[in-house]
Amino acid sequence: MKLDDLLEGVQEPLFPKEEVLKAYEEAAKLPEYKRIINLGYSDISTKIHKSRGAFSFGGMGKNARVYKIHAHGMLRTQAIGSDRFTRISVPPLTDDNMLENYKRMLRRVGDIVESRTTGVPLKHLPKDPNPNKYVKNGVIEINDSDITTLEGLPLPKRAKKLDIAAHKETSKLKNLIGAPDEVQDVWLQQLEITSLEGLPKKMKTLYIYSCKRLTSLEGLPPDVETVRLSYCDNIRTLEHLPMSLTSLTIGNLVIPTLEGLGTKFLKRCGTLDLWHFATRSHGLALLLISNKKTRLSWHPGSETDAGKIIHRHVNDGRGGLIECQHDLIEEGFPDQAKI
């Protein structure tokens, strides 16, 4: 097998070829690309370079060098005629927005070429006029409560973390439409959202804190693994929790009923942590999924006595479930004794 074929095979799983070629064609139209050409450098990318989304620029004269930009975010340079490369630092990149990454790396090459051509030190050249202030190293942070919509923001399709928080009393963000499609961890804090519409379609972990107008968990992706939910006063049901959930934490909530818990949904939850929590019926359902990683702390109120009975049997297995049901009925909590 030829070396180029081998390299292309390695690159293929990381970047779909169609995406790479499209990003390459679009990047070649950018002002940042044309700036390098106007400074006297030529695009010397080979066919195999282009198929992998890599640019190679070469120049003439004593200060000229070869610069190579790679689709995975590497930027290298070498003296003409030399086989030794030097890696160049680049601005923070996104995880998957290749065109945005190309723009930043092309701008970096342009700055270096201009400094070598004009003699102006690199630190004195103009800075990036339009940095993406929301994205850094694959992490999206939006802490501006004046933002009304995510649509139109320069956000990548995939990210490691999405952190949206409002630290003022009132947030103007009403929904999550425009969020990335795939995020590993999502944090939503003190927002005025009323639903999870627009939530990323793929994620592993979701933290929701003090979103007091949120009324439902409908819209959770089917493969989310961890949910942390606290101080969301208008959540009244857990029925939209997905079967994939392996860890659930709920704090400072009163859920009217747990009917369906452990039978219709949330069957496989390995870690259950409830603090300042209460329910008015079907509390016994908690024992269907309880194990040694279950912790219960009940909200002060009329349900506390029933909660104490349930807590007493929380790690006793299915045999404890029967005993707990008997104790709840005996103590006058027939609704809590339902599953």
pLDDT of 50 > 90? The answer is no
pLDDT one-digit tens code per residue, 78-91: 887 777 888 888 76
Rg of the chain's alpha carbons, rounded to an integer? 28
Q: State the pLDDT confidence band at 182, using cuts at 50, 70 and 90.
A: very high
Q: State the pLDDT confidence band at 8, using cuts at 50, 70 and 90.
A: very low
Give the pLDDT confidence score for residue 209 in this predicted structure: 94
Helix (H, G, I), strand (E, B) or coil at 79: strand
Question: Residues 223, 243: contact at Cβ < 8 Å?
Answer: no
pLDDT one-digit tens code per residue, 245-272: 899 999 999 999 999 888 888 877 888 8
pLDDT one-digit tens code per residue, 228-243: 999 999 999 998 888 8
- Which has the minimum average pLDDT: 4-18, 48-62, 156-170, 194-208? 4-18
Q: Where are the alpha helices (DSSP H) in the chain?
A: 3-11, 17-27, 31-38, 47-51, 98-118, 304-312, 317-330
Select the more confidently predicted residue: 167 or 184: 184
Cross-strand partners of 135 = 140
Mean pLDDT for all residues in the chain:
83
d(CA 92, CA 11): 22
- Which has the minimum average pLDDT: 160-169, 190-199, 328-337? 160-169
- Verdict on whether the full-model pTM lies above 0.95: no
Q: Within 13 A of 83's CA, how many CA atoms are on the CB side? A: 0
Question: Residues 150, 176: contact at Cβ < 8 Å?
Answer: yes
Q: State the pLDDT confidence band at 1, using cuts at 50, 70 and 90.
A: very low
Question: Residues 162, 150: contact at Cβ < 8 Å?
Answer: no
Average pLDDT over residues 180-189: 93
pLDDT one-digit tens code per residue, 9-31: 444 445 677 777 788 888 889 88
Buried b / exposed e over 179-218, threshold 16 CB at 10 Å, is: bbebbbbbbbbbbbbebbebbbeebebbbbbbbeebeebe
